[in-house]
Amino acid sequence: MPSKPAAAKTPEIPLDEFATRRSRVLKGLKNRIGMIHAGSGHADLHGTFRPHAHFEYLTGITDEPGAILVLDPTAPAGRESTLLLRPLDPEVEKWDGLREEIGTPLRERYGIRMVFRLGRLGIVLNDCLQRTRRFGCLHPFGRLDQEVSPDLETFKRLSDRYTDVVIEDCTGIISNLRAVKSKSEQAMVRHACDISKIAYLEMLRTVRPGMTEWDVMETLEHGYRSNGSRGPGYNTIVGAGLNGTVLHYTANKAPLQKNDLIVIDSGADFGGYTADVTRTIPAGGRFTARQREIYELVLRALKASIKTVKAGCTFAQVDKASRDIINKAGYGDRFFHGIGHHLGLEVHDITPKGPLKAGAIITIEPGIYLPDENFGVRIEDDVVVTKDGCVNLTSGIPKSVAAIEKAMAAG
């Protein structure tokens, strides 16, 4: 099995970068108060608590359910950011894990001077309101069928208690910042892609008819965890045969038949940043003539879209490059999803309006799905947008027919 990435090269987000991010949000808020909620979690939660991506982006804190970050650009210097944490509860912490008292070590580790318990939230906001009555919503708004966003809910409660309160839409501030990845963020995603490459190469070497979709998933996810990842960045998809025509298929339990094509959509998480890779492979190690025909059509579309990417282009232009090829071949109705999305702290990372900017990381994933022929094909790469083009972070994961068949024959 290929060796894991060298420990000396393991990237991280430096503490001062979180401070820089908060400063940029404060600048965007101008004279408005902003709030970011980490979200809730409890002992009965299945899986690991993950804070709202905005909270993680601005603090790097991932183990404080219920925490709130208050941003007030009108506050005295050094007091613009206030972090509020749940109270200590020794009885609960006997079960769920010990937590640290607020003090200099905690403040220095978080890089935030103003740290209090949540019981002080009303006092903190009252202090803000003595300087300004303007609030800026930073959380994405909830649709009519969703819960009201947590910051808007708080601001509306304040408007029942104070006069002249103004609530404004500032949701674009963080989305625009998150859409352009810093060098350290790019390194995090690149490392997630490198870990994914190791796992994919091992998976390709071991796939055989008679295994199950679950076996393929387990090989990939074990590869992630064995090479520095805590696991996949999203639910792994392994769809063989007809299951490969279902976009978000996650049952992953069917046996692999000799002539099945397998659509595999999976990527490693590293430090909260995820890769997002799709490869389509033949269970028996070799494509049939018909499978190869459709596969190479999708691969040609993918390459055309990758060639289109550069700063200033739009997703619509990237999509058109693939869709024109697939439409011309007569399969337009069989490519029924978008070409891709932003990638980062979330697999479907927040996407601002407007053209792509240099530093954005996006996925490109054309596909053709033929349920009447019992197979689908999707191929997906992750690329960093540059001024004049893009850098493909997943190019090392076998993608051509020849490379896939060679990798599978090496087992």
Strand-pair partners of 270? 273
Query: What's the pLDDT at 60?
Result: 98
The domains of the chain are located at: 7-178, 180-409
**What are φ and ψ of residue 177, in 5° steps?**
-70, -45
- Cα separations in angstroms, 265 against 10, 235, 247: 24, 9, 9
Calpha distance 335→294 (Å, rounded): 12
Amino acid making up residue 324 = D
For residue 341 the two structure tokens come to: 């999305």
Q: Reduce the DSSP state of residue 378 to 3 states and report it.
A: strand
Q: Are strands 268-270 and 231-232 parallel, antiparallel or unpaired?
A: antiparallel
Query: What's the pLDDT at 1?
Result: 46
Strand order in the sheet with 268-270: 231-232, 268-270, 273-274
CATH superfamily entry for domain 180-409: Creatinase/methionine aminopeptidase superfamily (3.90.230.10)
**What are φ and ψ of residue 232, in 5° steps?**
-70, 155
Calpha distance 272→111 (Å, rounded): 19
Angle at 195 between CA 298 and CA 306, to 5 degrees: 30
Query: What's the pLDDT at 352?
Result: 85
Q: What is the pLDDT tens value at each position of the chain, 411 positions in all?
A: 455 545 446 899 999 999 999 999 999 999 999 999 999 876 566 678 899 999 999 999 999 999 999 999 999 999 999 999 999 999 988 888 899 999 999 999 999 999 999 999 999 999 999 999 999 999 999 999 999 999 999 999 999 999 999 999 999 999 999 999 999 999 999 999 999 999 999 999 999 999 999 999 999 999 999 999 999 999 999 999 999 999 999 999 999 999 999 999 999 999 999 999 999 999 999 999 999 999 999 999 999 999 999 999 999 999 999 999 999 999 999 999 999 999 999 999 988 889 999 999 999 999 999 999 999 999 999 999 999 999 999 999 999 999 999 999 987
For residue 54 the two structure tokens come to: 């905005």
The pTM for the full model equals: 0.95
In which residue are the tokens 């401070």 written? 19
Calpha distance 199→233 (Å, rounded): 14
Query: What's the pLDDT at 44?
Result: 63
Query: What's the pLDDT at 46?
Result: 66
The CB-based long-range contact list for 221-227 (8 Å cut-off, 24+ gap) reads 221/266, 223/1, 223/195, 223/198, 223/199, 224/195, 224/196, 224/199, 224/268, 224/269, 226/4, 227/4, 227/5, 227/195, 227/198, 227/199, 227/268
In total, the chain counts a number of residues equal to 411
Cα four-point dihedral sign 180, 183, 189, 194: positive
Query: What's the pLDDT at 41?
Result: 74
Calpha distance 306→318 (Å, rounded): 7
Under a CB-based contact definition with an 8 Å cutoff, are residues 232 and 200 in contact? no
Angle between helices 183-206 and 213-225 (to 10 degrees): 140
Calpha distance 282→405 (Å, rounded): 8
Judged by phi (left if over 0) then psi (alpha if -120 to 50, else beta), residue 357 lies in: beta
Calpha distance 286→279 (Å, rounded): 14
- Residue in 139, 189, 147, 201 with CA at minimum distance from that of residue 167: 139
**Residue 169: count of CB within 10 angstroms of its CB:** 11
The domain at 7-178 falls in which architecture?
Answer: 3-Layer(aba) Sandwich (3.40)
Calpha distance 243→263 (Å, rounded): 8
The C-alpha R_g of the chain, in whole angstroms, comes to: 24
Calpha distance 301→299 (Å, rounded): 5
- Stretch (H or E) spanning 222: helix 213-225
